[in-house]
Chains A and B, each alone.
Chain A
Amino acid sequence: SAVISQKPSRDICQRGTSLTIQCQVDSQVTMMFWYRQQPGQSLTLIATANQGSEATYESGFVIDKFPISRPNLTFSTLTVSNMSPEDSSIYLCSVTGQGTDTQYFGPGTRLTVL
């Protein structure tokens, strides 16, 4: 499976600010996804990061709040904009390789908004 890293691993931010989370994969992957995991909860898909085009967002998530980039097959960013304490969560990226449906996850970014 691919090795997936995320930066930062954790951060504490002030409300009203924005944070960009990076996801880097050590090999080219077909698909990249961003999930949110609120404290003590399961994972919820935010969006599919599409290379060279706008991300595909799930119900309840919008581009203005969670802009996503994917400039190539190994890298993606998720920005959490105009943060509020409700945005405190773990944000995870996942990937699938060519010819497989299996998703592998990065270590996550633990975000706390004060």
Chain B
Amino acid sequence: GESVGLHLPTLSVQEGDNSIINCAYSNSASDYFIWYKQESGKGPQFIIDIRSNMDKRQGQRVTVLLNKTVKHLSLQIAATQPGDSAVYFCAETLNNAGNMLTFGGGTRLMVKP
């Protein structure tokens, strides 16, 4: 399958600051992208998604940006809190791929008090 990668394996931020987690994907045919949060000992938790016909989507304290020109995805977390500490994965689905997800390598977010 196509690869989905991340620029930074570990990101350390101060509590209250904004966090930006990046992801690059390689297949321009991908049409749906999801960000997951995985805390230690738990399964991935859905955070936010975006389709390829959009370039920005906002949720509660989170924003996903999609740049199809450079095949780049980012997750922005506003006012980062200790509870945001986790590993974050981006995932993509390919057109007509039966909902099959390809995951990126993951970024560990560490929030310093």
Contacts and interface: CB of A to CB of B under 8 A. Distances in A.
A binds B: yes
Interface of A: 1, 4, 31, 33, 41-45, 48, 56, 58, 92, 94, 96, 101-108, 110
Contact of A48 (B46, B100, B103): B100
B34 A102 contact: yes
Given A31-B99, A41-B105, 8 more contacts: A31-B98, A41-B106, A42-B106, A45-B100, A45-B102, A92-B44, A101-B99, A103-B91
Interface in B61-113: 89, 91, 93, 98-106
Contact of A92 (B43, B93, B102): B43
Contacts of B45: 105
Interface of B: 1, 32, 34, 36, 41-46, 49, 89, 91, 93, 98-106
Contacts of B44: 43, 92, 105
Nearest to B108: A40
B98 to A, nearest CB: 7
A57 B89 CA distance: 23
B100 to A, nearest CB: 6
B89 A104 contact: no
A110 B36 CA distance: 19
B101 A108 contact: no
Nearest to B101: A103
